[in-house]
Amino acid sequence: MENLDSRLARLEQSYRRMQIVALSSLTLAGLGLAAAVLKEEGHTGELAVSRLTLKDAQGHARATLSANAEGDTGLVLTDAEGRPRALLGVSQDGSPKLRFSTAHGTTLAELIVYSDEAPRLAFSKNGGVEFFSVGMFPDGSSRLELADEDGRPRAILGADEHGSPGLLLVDRLGQPRATLRVSPSNNASLVLEGLDGAVFHAPTPVQ
């Protein structure tokens, strides 16, 4: 006749087998439910959300990845006070951009690409006035601008669609004062304009 110890050992083994079976059943049921939800939503295993936020140890949002109904998508990084400081995004027209801002929201630097082939980089002062920009246009021409404290372009260096370079210096009233250019035919020219209306040309225009 089976003693008590043997019966207890056999019951314990049966109990453990039941635990394993129950745990396996729950796991399979959970996987089945998750698969059903993903199938119902039309996904194939990925996590699909319209907004994802990462928080620090104090519970402050520090990074937000989102996509809105207008078609804009982006990643925004904030400081410890919750103020946006950096943005990496794509606008609804497909233009990617990278932007850095002050704690008060003023843009200091921005890189953006238009029309798949027209990048532009701009730097601004803390007050928001843009003082430097360089970019390329869809026609192949390029342009670099230096502005004064009021944001008025004062020195413009550029090249046309053929690569012919030119330099233009402008006064505070927006009037050209000096122009240096090399034409597509490799002819160089210099034009200086004085306040009294006098104009100096080099080479001298043919009369």
| Cβ(102)–Cβ(108) below 8 Å | yes
In the chain the first and final C-alpha atoms are separated, in Å, by 132
Residue 11: CA atoms inside 13 Å, Cβ hemisphere, count? 7
Q: What pTM value is reported for the model?
A: 0.71
In which residue are the tokens 């053929």 written? 162
Extended strands (E) in the chain: 51-55, 61-67, 73-78, 84-90, 96-101, 107-114, 118-124, 130-136, 142-147, 153-159, 165-170, 176-182, 188-193, 199-202
pLDDT by residue (tens digit) across 127-183?
Answer: 889 999 999 999 999 999 999 999 999 999 999 999 999 999 999 999 999 999 999
Pick from 192, 189, 170: which is nearest to 180 by CA? 189
pLDDT for 68 equals 83
- Per-residue pLDDT reduced to its tens digit, 14-23: 545 555 544 4
